[in-house]
Structure 1
């Protein structure tokens, strides 16, 4: 059992070192860089380092380098706005584009209808917890807008999901900063 404790501690030390490296970048550019990276990631850039910078910024907030309240507000705003941009783009262009060109990327009318029905039934859960699944986090706004999820529902679950996700990963970074 002691080997498990040793392995867990080694993993935490490695994670701590990685977060410290990311914290150097965040420390240099501040909370607005975190806002921008989360906005870009949430708007569909799959390899943007938003989550990494969020954890690193939580780490810095625990050490007193960043204001945790401002960080939280900007992280939630960046994450939510990215999804809203993707949602509005997909809502305006996505469904008609998918109906016309979807067959070229494997989106048949049948799959589109199944997605629409699935999101009518489970959309709130998908939007709320979709942030925790890569690449769903980066594509959720497009999926919801194209599947015609009502804006009222998307707005509520998008913001609640952003608060949950930012609290989880920013909080994890904060806890690492206290170690």
Structure 2
């Protein structure tokens, strides 16, 4: 059984699995989850194909053990990305002329997390490229660590185990195995839907917001107030 990667032939999921085995897949998931160099790796299709190869006995490992390893790799990868962004990120990304980031991008990321909250970590798991940079930007923005850890675990379980189990379940069907190329393309298309829905919802909510009044963000500024007198000479 062969699969098709949406990229160079050496990124074909089946070839990666044949070359590196289950532990190599876990290393790839780790790299894509939190290392800048892993943004191009085919995480979704790789997880799906791994689950399908386990259920068809091509990979001689228990499915629960594979899922456990992939979830751990995803969670640890995001953890490393967050710590990298928190410790090293500010020194690298504050310069306006940074090659990959600008200071305004860091500020926008902070605003994004403030607006959408920790759920952005879960949504980003299912979007290629975005899932690699999200934990790093979360660290740069100094997102609350406890919130990051909780939603990192939730996202890691839903993505690492969820996509793998989906591949194992659908892989039992001969129709799916015979049309795996179309399935992988569909997975990539589905992976962007959460962000599309979130964007449309946020856009609709913005249109429904009432006009800002005086003293509110975007409203007319209030006139300056006289200073309050304090001390024994203050009026009573």
TM-score range, shorter chain: 0.7 to 0.9
Aligned runs of 1:52-71 on 2, under 5 Å? 52-64=45-57, 65-71=60-66
Q: Which has the higher contact order (CA 8 A, sep 6+)?
A: 1
Which residue matches 1:112?
106
Q: Does residue 170 in structure 1 map to residue 164 in structure 2?
A: yes
Look up the SS of the partner of 2:83 in the other structure. Answer: helix
Which residue matches 1:84?
79
Return the offset for 1:60. 1.8
Aligned runs of 1:34-53 on 2, under 5 Å? 34-42=25-33, 43-44=35-36, 45-53=38-46
Return the offset for 1:86. 1.0
Name which one, 1 or 2, has greater alpha-carbon Rg.
2
Q: Does residue 73 in structure 1 map to residue 73 in structure 2?
A: no
Contact 1:57 1:66 in 2 (8 A): no
Structure 2 Cα separation of the partners of residues 102 and 162 of structure 1: 32
Structure 2 Cα separation of the partners of residues 130 and 25 of structure 1: 23
TM-score (normalizing by structure 2) = 0.61
Count residues in correspondence.
Answer: 162
Return the offset for 1:18. 1.3
Structure 2 Cα separation of the partners of residues 25 and 98 of structure 1: 33
Structure 2 Cα separation of the partners of residues 121 and 107 of structure 1: 21
Instruction: Please identify which structure carries the higher helix content.
Output: 1
TM-score (normalizing by structure 1) = 0.78
Gap regions ≥5 residues in structure 2:
5-11, 174-236
Which residue matches 2:136?
142
Look up the SS of the partner of 2:88 in the other structure. Answer: helix
User: CA 1:113–1:26 in 2, change beyond 3 Å: closer, same or farther?
Assistant: closer
Return the offset for 1:174. 0.7
Return the offset for 1:112. 3.1
Bigger drift between 68-77 and 90-99 goes to 90-99
Gap regions ≥5 residues in structure 1:
1-15
